[in-house]
């Protein structure tokens, strides 16, 4: 089994909401728990700006930009 497939299975099995984002801050994947927590379907979330789901989007954006710059 490929690493990608194993990671996908672990993410989907998690009871915690998990979101994967690109370096540009766009949502690239979510698990079922995220759909349940947000009330939005996976297809609605993918491609959206991750920072927009925070009460302080600028701080969220600065946080993931710092991580991706390491």
| 8-55 pLDDT per residue, tens | 787 788 889 999 999 999 999 999 999 999 999 999 999 999 999 999
What is the per-residue pLDDT for 7?
76
Q: What is the pLDDT of residue 48?
A: 97
Superfamily holding 3-69: PAS domain (3.30.450.20)
Residue with tokens 């789901």: 53
Distance CA 61, CA 25 (A): 7
pTM of the model: 0.83
Say which residue the tokens 């491609």 belong to.
47
Structure-derived torsion over alpha carbons of residues 15, 44, 41, 16, reported in degrees to the nearest 10? 10
């Amino acid at each position: 089994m490929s690493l990608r497939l194993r990671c996908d299975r672990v993410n989907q099995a998690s009871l915690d909401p998990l979101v994967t984002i690109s370096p540009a801050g766009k949502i690239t994947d979510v698990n079922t728990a995220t759909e349940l927590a947000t009330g939005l379907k996976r297809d609605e979330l993918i491609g959206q700006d991750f920072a927009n789901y925070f009460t302080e989007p600028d701080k969220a954006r600065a946080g993931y930009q710092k991580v991706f710059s390491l």
